[in-house]
Structure 1
Amino acid sequence: MKASIKAALISALVFPGLGHLVLRRGARGLLFIVPALLAAGYLLRTTLVLADTIVTEINSGKLPLDPLLIVERVHSAGVDNPATNLAALVCIVCWVGSVLDALWLGRHR
């Protein structure tokens, strides 16, 4: 298997930018790893805070254990805002960009 294909698969299936380490392009890989890691961390933190809030409301009896009401509570939480949308976009762009860049680097080696 060609190194560029292996790098693209690692970037696509594991984490963006990790395939660049296979190609010995660590600095270039960090251009994909760092923003994707920060954006994924923000999304994870936002999700965990919302989940903790909902669990606390369920345990206190404020929110009944009804799936439809829980879904409604999630939608009303306001997590669909420009910051989370931007973080999701950064993740997607880094993922796709790292795969395409790994393939491009392999062809121009």
Structure 2
Amino acid sequence: MNKSLKAALLSALIYPGVGHLSLKRYISALVFIIGFSIPMILLFKKIMEKANQVVAQIEHGQIGMDVSSLSNALNTSAAGSIQMLDVYSYLMLAVWLIALLDIYRVRNH
């Protein structure tokens, strides 16, 4: 397996930027790793905040432990949260795709 194919697979399947590390392109690797990690951390933070809100509502007896109650609790008052989750997800997808395209660009030069 040649180095450029290995780098593309690493960036595509493991983590964006890891392929750049294998090609010894450390600045690019750092940019892609940070660019992917920040929205991922923010995404997990939003998810955990929403989960903690639902847990607090369960503990105070405001919602039941059935599937429909939990689903309603997650969906209500979450329009802004869901919109931010979408933004973070799209940012992660964009960084991932750009990292793959950059590996392709590096391979052809």
Q: Which runs of 5+ in 1 are unaligned?
A: none
Per the alignment, residue 11 of structure 1 pairs with: 11
After superposing on structure 2, the runs of 4+ consecutive aligned residues of structure 1 that deviate more than 4 Å are none
Which SS does the other structure have where 1:46 is aligned?
A: helix
**Contact 1:7 / 1:103 at 8 angstroms: preserved in 2?**
no
Cα shift at 1:59: 2.2
Per the alignment, residue 100 of structure 1 pairs with: 101
Q: Which runs of 5+ in 2 are unaligned?
A: none
Cα shift at 1:60: 2.2
Q: Are the structure 2 counterparts of residues 84 and 22 from structure 1 closer, same or farther at C-alpha, using a change threshold of 3 Å?
A: same
Which SS does the other structure have where 2:82 is aligned?
A: coil
**Contact 1:7 / 1:102 at 8 angstroms: preserved in 2?**
yes
RMSD between superposed Cα atoms in Å: 1.3
Query: Which amino acid is 2:35 matched to?
Result: P
Per the alignment, residue 72 of structure 1 pairs with: 72
Aligned equivalents of 1:46, 1:12: Cα separation in 2:
25
TM-score by length of 1: 0.89
TM-score by length of 2: 0.89
- Paired residue total: 107
